[in-house]
Structure 1
């Protein structure tokens, strides 16, 4: 049966040992008797599908005629997995393949036309997933970051060995009965940040996005369970992209640099990737968080992403 407007269906699809929550955005005039190109949309680090990957990019991609699937990472959002607030690169990367496993069983999905769009830290995981899962035919990163790199840099105060020692001590303490430690990666408010000398554009804008009505969501808490963040210190989203990232690639960044390094890391990814068909789009006047939800920057990102996917996911 055809529909005339965007329709969103929430599903719980099987993951490793728990369900992965996802919203499927269907284009206007969707016809279940036909097959469609599908774009998997992945949210930022410590976030959820209600924050930019679904409500902004998933919706817009459906309006452009694609089926779009925004999912919550394992241990986050409405997806299963314990303990909560776990940001584990192995699980985050494998989630993409479980989502695709579900999609290829759906009669309206063209299994040969699956792409990925991912934002911030989700983009780093998407890079790794695209190298592994060859069912992904095209990749777009928006304000993409590399959480492993950041864990060795600012997230560990540029002392990853000290962080790993602290994780080890905390694991021992928790094994002996101490309460778990959850780190909120952001200040409680913009005012608090400024009062305490935190002036970086990404820190301030992230706080404004996640800690106010602009982007706050019940299950998008930007927090890490401290003892579970150790694997990130040894992980790198861009490991071996010179060999294995061969699919078409679109990198979208803003030209305002900040602590989360999407500008620098996006240029690095573009330069290093083996993709023969790759594009770099720099949105002038845009910061990392402008590309989450601000109308003009996100429109510029989509002006590049939509024709990119139409070209590379064509029948």
Structure 2
């Protein structure tokens, strides 16, 4: 693995990424590449890189797991902004960077998105034609979530609050940063939280199981308004034509990955699309638990090999 940073000419900050290489990597050959995108409030060292990135690299792909702008080790201020438009643009920046690598085959690039990264991957694939194959694992439409559970089913009231907070900040108040999760599972239960996704997210992000210095699950309310009006699946019936493999668990929770997965498979214009349901497993089981991850990879690996191939024999 190699940790890198790069700056696209139309950006004002660096994007940080880890490149995972196949076994016996030979830089004189041409490899298919997969862009791996992390969940909401997460980072490249969590499931997108250390689980799926490593596994796909072992199968012959060059995998680039990146931190979105404002998050992880990438630049952008204020920190912890979740901006869907910028998030989708980051896929283009990463694709641009892959175009500069002599060992990447520019005609064989795929994407994999986990959780919110899955929704962004869907949206990016609609208009970034250099992306040839789309995979998601427990992908979520962040815009739909922001109009629903993340704003307590009252997006207008939430938007009013965001507007007041933004005004206060431009007048000199310090930027408000919220923790998206309780400090522990016990604290969540004591607060009366029963939703499986929230409890399991807390177990993942707030314990050694998934805890990483950059994966803090924080948000900036004053900069969330754009997400409320954004939709990952807009125009999927017209523009989402690439082959797609959508993996979800069948234990539904408040984040809505099961319903989002079923919706995008139904709506996409693609003629080659599959909804893979990991029966008996939840959203966060698919982040790192061996059995459900294997279910996902057993579908994703042949999917990517079919549509992207593997290293070209004897290529130079």
Same fold (TM over 0.5): yes
Structure 2 stretches of 5 or more lacking a match? none
Residue 56 of structure 2 corresponds to 61
Offset, 1:13:
1.4
Offset, 1:188:
1.4
Aligned equivalents of 2:223, 2:166: Cα separation in 1: 9
Structure 1 stretches of 5 or more lacking a match? 1-7
Determine which of 172, 184, 191 is the counterpart of 2:186. 191
Aligned equivalents of 1:142, 1:251: Cα separation in 2: 6
Determine which of 206, 211, 226 is the counterpart of 1:211. 206
Task: Output the aligned Cα RMSD.
Answer: 0.8
Residue 150 of structure 2 corresponds to 155
Matches within 5 A, 1:161-310: 161-310=156-305
Matches within 5 A, 1:4-153: 8-15=1-8, 16-153=11-148
Aligned equivalents of 1:129, 1:264: Cα separation in 2: 20
Aligned equivalents of 1:195, 1:306: Cα separation in 2: 41
Offset, 1:280:
0.9
Aligned equivalents of 2:63, 2:266: Cα separation in 1: 28
Specify the SS of the correspondent of 1:237: coil
TM-score (norm 2): 0.96
Offset, 1:94:
0.4
1:125-174 superposed Cα distances (whole Å, 9 cap, x missing partner): 11111011000000001000011101000100100000110011111111
| Higher mean C-alpha deviation, range 15-24 or range 93-102 | 15-24
Offset, 1:178:
1.4
Aligned equivalents of 2:7, 2:133: Cα separation in 1: 24
Aligned equivalents of 1:70, 1:164: Cα separation in 2: 32
1:32-59 superposed Cα distances (whole Å, 9 cap, x missing partner): 1110000000000111001100000000
Specify the SS of the correspondent of 1:136: coil
Aligned equivalents of 2:212, 2:160: Cα separation in 1: 33
Aligned equivalents of 2:175, 2:13: Cα separation in 1: 22
Instruction: Work out whether residues 236 and 267 of structure 2, in 8 Å CA contact, stay in contact via their aligned partners in 1.
Output: yes
Instruction: Work out whether residues 166 and 223 of structure 2, in 8 Å CA contact, stay in contact via their aligned partners in 1.
Output: no
Aligned equivalents of 1:277, 1:191: Cα separation in 2: 44
| Highest RCO, 1 vs 2 (Cα 8 Å, sep ≥ 6) | 2
